[in-house]
Amino acid sequence: MDRTLSKTKTRALGAAPGGHEIQIQYRTLSLHVDSYVEGKSKPAEVQTADPASALRQIDVHQIPVQEVYARFSTSPTLGLESDAVERRSKSAKNVISSPPTQYWRKGLNYVFGGFNFLMWIAFIVTVLSYEPLGGDAPAAFNLGVAVLLFLVIVISSTFYALVDWHASRIMNSIKTLIAEDASVIRNGEHQTVPARDLVVGDIVTLSMGDRVPADLRLVQISSDVRFDRSLLTGESDMIPGTLDATSHNALETRNLALTSTFVVQGTCTGIVFAIGDKTVMGRIVAMSGKTKLELTTVQREIWYFTKIISTLALGLFCIALIVWAAWLRKSFPGFETASQAIVNSIGCLTAFVPQGLPVCVALSLTIVAKRMAKRNVLVKNLATIETLGCMSVLCSDKTGTLTVGKMSVQNIAFFDAEFRVQDIKERLSVEGNSEAPAAFTGLHMVARLCNGAKFDSTTAHLPVEERQVKGDATDTAVLRFAEELSIPSLALSAPTLTAAYEKFFEIPFNSKNKWMLTAVRRRETSDAHAKAEPGTWMLVKGAPDILFRKCMDVLKADGTTSPFTPAARATIHALQERWSSEGQRVLALCRRSLDELDIERDMPANDLEALMHSQMRGLTLVGLVGIRDPPRPDVPDAVATIRRAGVRVFMVTGDFKLTAVAIARQVGVITQEKVDTLEDMRSSGVPKRYLTMKAPMMKPSEEDGDRALVLTGDDIETLEEADWNAVVGNYTEIVFARTTPEQKLKIVESTKARGDNTVAVTGDGVNDAPALKAADIGVAMGAGSDVAKEAASMILLNNDFTSIVVAIEMGRLVFDNLKKVIIYLMPAGSYSEFITVFCNTFLGMQLALSSYLQVCFCITNDVAMSISLMYEKPEADLMLRKPRNARTDRLTNWQFFVQVYLFIGLMMWPCAMSMWFLFMKQQGLGFYDVILVFNKWGAGLKGYTIEQLNDFVNVGQCIYYVTLVFMQCGALLATRNRRVSLLQSNPLWGPRRNLVVPLGMAATAVIAVVNLYGPGLEKVFMTTPIPGMFWGIPFAFALGILVVDEVRKLLVRTYPNSIVAKMAW
C-alpha cells in the first residue's frame, strides 16, 4: 500500500507544473503530514506555524467506527437530534471562504491594459514637450493635450473596472442559483438539507454522482464505492473507499471522503468531522490565496491585434521624430521646433489607437453576462460563450437532455401476457378482482427491492407522484410504480414487502455493467405460507440484451416458469424491439433463489461481491418493464435551429439502439428514412475516400446532402482510424447507442481530431463527466449530477435545451459585433487621421487635424458611436452561416483590410482633405500654397500675417474634424449590416431596432459642438467656430458613403459568386 501511495504522489508531483495550484498545495500538505508521521517533524513550537499542523492532528480515520459515533455524539440510526443541530450550527457554516482577490494586479491591468500604455507614452512625451522642451514660453496647448490624455487614462481605467465588477457581480449572483443539497439522517429520518447547513456529527448518505459536501469519515460503504479525487490530486483514477484506515496520512487514507470530491460509483454513509474553512479543501484554498486573471479567446485575439497596432503606432511615432531630427530640422529650419514635432507626432500614437475597441470588448462581457443570466445559464468562464460561436458538432445525451427526464412506467410484460399500467390501476387494483396474474408478486418484489432510488422521508405524507425522490430518473420511475402497485387479490403492497425483507448486499447500477443487483433475506416471521417461499433472493434489474444471456428460465403470467429457449428469447426480443421502436426504455427484471448457498451474516463485503458475481447465472426472467421519457417539447425546434446554423447534432446514449433511433427521429436528430449501420458504411467503400485526405478536411460537403448512421457500443469497439474518418467526415446525422463512458470519450476525441471541429457535449449523468471534461464546451443540466456540473463549462440551470441556441447566437454575435466595431473605427481613426500626420511630416503641409482633435475624436466621438454596435441584435442570417473555424477564421482577414483601407477609408480621407483644401482655396491659398511648403509657411505668404495663417489652420482643422464626425454617422449605418440593406434593418423600429445608434449620433454631434463653441477651449486648444456650409456638406458625404455601401451590398446579394461578393467582409 505504501508503495502504491508513493507512486501516486510521484505521478501527481510530475503533473504539478501544469499550474494546478490546488493539486500542488494538496501534495505539499500530504508530504508534510507524511514527514510528521515518519517522525521527521520539526519541534512543536515550529509546527504551530506550519499550515499542515492542523491536518497532522486528524486521527478520526484511525479509530473504530463505534468510537467515531461516540466522539461526535451521534447515533447510527437516529443521527443528530434537532437541538444538537441548532447548537452546532451557531459556530460556523459549511461554506469555504473565497480566496482574497489581488486587487493591485487588477488595478494595474485596468490602468495599463489595452491601449492605455500607449496613452501613457503619449502623456509622458507631451509633458516633456511642455517642460523642459517647451523653452521659455511653453505652449498651453501642449499642457492641455497632456491633461486630456491623463483624463482619458483615468476615465478608461475606471470604465474597465466598473464593467469588470458589473460582469463579475452578474455571474456571481447567478451562481447562487445552483442548489447544493446533502442527504442526511436527522431525528431518525432521511432528509435533504442545504449543504451549507451541515454540522459536525451529521450522518450524510451519498450515492453515485454526488459531490461530497464536507469532510466525512466513512462508516458504511457498498463494495464498489469509488471516489474521484482529481480536483485534489490531479489524477483521474477512481479511488476505492474503505472502512478501515489504509494510511496514517489523513490525506492519503481511503476511509475519508473529502470535500468537493465525487462519488462516481456505489453508495456510502459518513459522519461529518470538518466543515467549511476547516476542511482539507478549505485549508488549501486559504493557502493558495490568489486568483488567476485569464483572458477569453476574443480578448486574446484583441490583445494580438492590439500588439500589432501598438507596434505600428510606436514605429510610426519614432519614424516621424527621426525624420524631423535627421531631415526636416536641417533642411527646413524653423518648420517645427522639437516641442511641435513631438506634439504633432502624437497623432501617430492616437490615430492608430482604436480606443473604443477595448471599451467594447469590456462592455461585451457585461452584455453577454446579462443575457445569459436572463436565460438562467451559468457560464463558468465567458470564454465558453465565444467558443460556442465556433461550435460545429453537438454531442447530446438523450435522457434528461433531449427528453424531459421524468420517466414513468407505461407497460408491463411477462412471457405470455402484456399489460398497460393504466389498465392495472383501473382493473387489478380494485377490491374483489381475482383476475390478477400471480407473476405480479415476483415482478413487484424485484421492482421495489432492487432499486437505487429512495423517497425523502419529509415528503412521505404526500401522494406517491408528489413525493421527492433521490435517485436517477429510471429508478425513480420504477420506484413510483412499485410503491403505487397494490393488488388486493395477491396481497401486494409496498409497505408489507419492504417490512418483510432486509437488504444485505447491493451492487448499484453503472454504465459499464448496465445492471443493478440486490441481495435480500426475509426477516423472521411466524407466517407458515411465507416460510414456504425461498428466504434469500438475488434480484437483478437492467438492460435486456445484457441480462438475457444470464437467464435460464422465464416466468409466465400464472407464476409458473418455462425454459428460456431460443424461441422464447426471440419472442421476448421481438416485444423489446417493438417497445423500443416506440421510444420506450426497456428493462429486464430477473431473480434467483440463494437458499442453497450458506451465506454468513458477517461475510466480508469483498467476499460477498465475489460470490454474487459468480452466482449471477441461471436467472429467471420475471418480466419486462417499458418506461417512457417523452422528448422536451422545445427540443425539436431547437435542434432544427442548431442544424440550420451548420452544427451537426449527434445523439450519444446508453439506451438500446431502436429506442435511441426512435427518440432521435422525434426530436429531429435523424431526418433520413434510411439509417446506415457499420456494415452498410464499410460495404459502401466510403472509408477509402478519406485515406489520403488531411484531418482538417474531413467534413461532410453540402453537395452530398444529409446521411444518417447508427452505431452501437460494440460497433465502436471495432472501429479503426479509417472508419472514424468516414464516420466523422461523411455523416451529418449520427446516433451512438449502448455506449460506455470510455466510448463517449472516444467519440468526442475522434470528432475533435477531424474536420477542425469544435465539439460541445451535453449531459447530466456521472457517465457523461469524462466526455464533458474532454469537449471544447461541456454543457450540463441543472438537474444533473454534481459530477457532471463540475466537469461542464456551462450549466443550464432550468434544463432548457433552447438556451444552447441562445448561447451559440451570443457567441457568434459577440464576434460579429466586435468585427463591426473595428471596421467602423479603423477608416477614420487609423487612416484618415494618420494621413494628416503623413502630410505634415513628409509633404510639408500644416497639420490638418490638431493633436487635441485627434485625441478627442478617438476617445469621445468614436467611442460614443462604437458602443452602439455592441448593442446590435443578430442579423437575420447569423444563425444560417457556417460555424466559424476557430483555427483559421481570425477577427481580421484580407476582406477586412479591403473594407477598411480600399473602400470606406478611401472615401473618407479624400472627402475630409477636400474640405481642408476648399476652405484654404476660399482664403486665396491654392493647392501648392498649402502642400510642400514646409518652412515657407509664415508671414508674407500671399500677403497674410502669421497670425492670419494660423487662424486659417485652426479653422481648417476644425472643418476636417467636423467632416470626420459626420461621415462616421454614414459609416456607422453602413457597418451595422454585412449583407442586408438599411431599409430592412433600420435602427429606429423593427426587429433590428437599436436606439443606442441615434443616441450615439446625437452624442457625437454634441461633442463636436462643445469642442468648437465650448468656452475656454478656444484659448487652450485653438478650436474655433466654422462657416455654416462646412456643417452641411459632411452630411452629403455621409449619405454618399451609405449609398455606395448599399450598392455594394446589393451586388453581393444579387451576385453571390462575383468578385465583389468574395471581397465582402
**Per-residue pLDDT tens over the stretch 304-358:** 777 777 788 788 888 888 888 888 888 888 787 888 788 777 767 776 667 667 7
Of 27-31, 319-323, 682-686, 821-825, least confident by mean pLDDT is 27-31
Angle between the N-to-C axes of helices 297-323 and 834-842, in degrees from 0 to 180, rounded to the nearest 10: 20
Helices (H), 596-691: 605-615, 635-644, 657-667, 678-683
The catalytic position among 397, 723, 764, 786 is: 397
CA neighbor of 393 nearest in space, from 642, 214, 60, 584: 642
Across the strands, what pairs with 414? 417
* pLDDT of 481 over the 70 cut: yes
How confident is the model over 735-783, as pLDDT tens digits? 999 888 888 889 999 999 998 899 999 987 777 778 888 898 999 888 7
For residue 189, count other CB atoms closer than 10 A to its CB: 13
* pLDDT of 2 over the 60 cut: no
pLDDT category at 41 given cuts 50, 70, 90 is very low
pLDDT category at 11 given cuts 50, 70, 90 is very low
Using CA atoms, how far apart are residues 440 and 541, in angstroms rounded to an integer?
15
Residues 402 and 655: beta-carbon distance below 8 Å:
no
Mean pLDDT of the chain: 84
Query: Grid coordinates standing for 71?
Result: 466522539
pLDDT at position 934 is 86
pLDDT at position 960 is 95
In three-state secondary structure terms, 756 is coil
CA 273 from centroid of its chain's CA atoms: 34
pLDDT at position 355 is 67
Of 10-14, 697-701, 1061-1065, least confident by mean pLDDT is 10-14
pLDDT at position 46 is 38
Residues 271 and 74: beta-carbon distance below 8 Å:
yes
Handedness of CA 842, 848, 852, 856 (dihedral sign): negative
pLDDT category at 724 given cuts 50, 70, 90 is very high
pLDDT at position 343 is 78
pLDDT at position 622 is 96
Q: What percent of the chain has pLDDT over 70?
A: 88
Residues 904 and 971: beta-carbon distance below 8 Å:
yes
CA 859, 864, 867 angle in degrees (round to 5)? Answer: 110
How confident is the model over 514-531, as pLDDT tens digits? 899 999 999 876 555 555
How confident is the model over 892-916, as pLDDT tens digits? 788 888 898 889 999 999 999 999 9
pTM (two decimals): 0.76
pLDDT at position 975 is 92
* pLDDT of 1033 over the 90 cut: yes
Query: Grid coordinates standing for 200?
Result: 459536525
CA neighbor of 908 nearest in space, from 864, 969, 819: 969
DSSP state of 80: B
| Mean pLDDT on 347-372 | 72
Rounded-to-10 torsion of CA 976, 980, 985, 990? -130
pLDDT at position 641 is 94
pLDDT at position 44 is 39
Residues 113 and 237: beta-carbon distance below 8 Å:
no
Which H or E element spans position 872? none
For residue 609, count other CB atoms closer than 10 A to its CB: 17
Residues 801 and 784: beta-carbon distance below 8 Å:
no
**Residue with the larger pLDDT of the pair 449 and 297:** 449
pLDDT at position 737 is 92
**Residue with the larger pLDDT of the pair 225 and 963:** 963
- ω before 132 within 30° of 0 (cis)? yes
CA neighbor of 512 nearest in space, from 292, 719, 744: 744
**Residue with the larger pLDDT of the pair 354 and 990:** 990
- 397 has catalytic annotation: yes
For residue 682, count other CB atoms closer than 10 A to its CB: 16
How confident is the model over 502-511, as pLDDT tens digits? 998 888 887 7
* pLDDT of 734 over the 90 cut: yes
pLDDT at position 18 is 37
Query: Grid coordinates standing for 231?
Result: 480536483
pLDDT at position 14 is 32
pLDDT at position 48 is 39
* pLDDT of 728 over the 80 cut: yes
In three-state secondary structure terms, 29 is helix
**Residue with the larger pLDDT of the pair 886 and 53:** 886
Exposure of 402 in the CB half-sphere (CA atoms within 13 A): 28
Across the strands, what pairs with 408? 628
Exposure of 102 in the CB half-sphere (CA atoms within 13 A): 10
Q: Where are the beta strands (DSSP E) in 532-673?
A: 536-542, 551-555, 561-563, 584-593, 619-628, 648-652
Rounded-to-10 torsion of CA 39, 42, 47, 52? -60
DSSP state of 731: -
pLDDT at position 28 is 66
Determine the length of the chain.
1065
